[in-house]
């Protein structure tokens, strides 16, 4: 019986793959779509949904950031792309000097904060954060119980320490910062 269960487990594991969990399709700030199918070699593809009749080759990125209706990023090592989301055009650079010159000339380098994306680490997506919280529930639940214990001790206990207050403030602050980052995909 154990051997039968072991063989069935091996067959189930062979036919199940995680392509569905790693693939994603998200809108860009300019109204187009970025897509990662989960099977390509570290490439997120830009789809011009705002200008569907625009003929374009496949525009893909390894790393990118959004800034002033542009998507600025790297395709391969030494190949850089700047995609204008309002005109649905893209410019490719094969030297870092020309790319840096264009970025500086058109003021496309963020001054305050640069939020870089890549297709493998979609941590900015709320559905993946919720899935991770569910999968990490053996860790999250004790932390939340400890938080409630400290919160109750703060209100009903006589001993108030700075470490308790820092922990009680830091956890909601971390959630608030994550929520703000979710709402602002642009670099500043």
pLDDT digits (tens, 9 = 90+) for 129-176: 677 777 777 887 888 888 888 888 877 877 777 777 888 888 888 878
State pLDDT tens for residues 3-26. Answer: 655 655 555 544 444 456 677 788
| Mean of pLDDT values over 46-58 | 77
Domain chopping of the chain, boundaries: 19-105, 126-183
- Strands in 33-36's sheet, in edge-to-edge order, are 24-27, 33-36, 44-47, 59-61
Q: Which two tokens stand for residue 31?
A: 């109204």
Query: What angle in degrees, to the nearest 10, is found between the helix axes of 126-135 and 137-156?
Result: 90
Position 21 scores a pLDDT of: 62
Average of per-residue pLDDT across 65-94: 90
**pTM over cut 0.75:** no
d(CA 150, CA 157): 9
């Amino acid at each position: 019986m154990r051997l039968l269960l072991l063989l069935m487990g091996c067959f189930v594991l062979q036919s199940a793959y995680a392509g569905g969990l790693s693939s994603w399709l998200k809108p860009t700030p300019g109204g187009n779509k970025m897509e990662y199918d989960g099977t390509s070699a570290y490439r997120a593809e830009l789809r011009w949904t705002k200008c569907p009749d625009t003929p374009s080759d496949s525009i893909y990125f390894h790393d990118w950031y959004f800034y002033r209706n542009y998507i600025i990023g790297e395709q391969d090592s030494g190949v850089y792309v700047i995609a204008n989301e309002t005109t649905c055009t893209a410019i490719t650079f094969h030297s870092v000097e020309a790319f840096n010159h264009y970025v500086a000339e058109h003021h496309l380098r963020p001054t305050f904060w640069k939020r870089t994306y890549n297709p493998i680490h979609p941590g900015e997506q709320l559905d993946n954060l919720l899935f991770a919280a569910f999968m990490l529930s053996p860790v999250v639940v004790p932390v939340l119980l400890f938080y409630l214990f400290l919160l109750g001790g703060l209100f009903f206990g006589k001993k108030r320490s700075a470490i308790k207050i820092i922990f009680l403030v830091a956890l909601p602050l971390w959630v608030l910062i994550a929520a703000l980052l979710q709402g602002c995909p642009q670099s500043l």
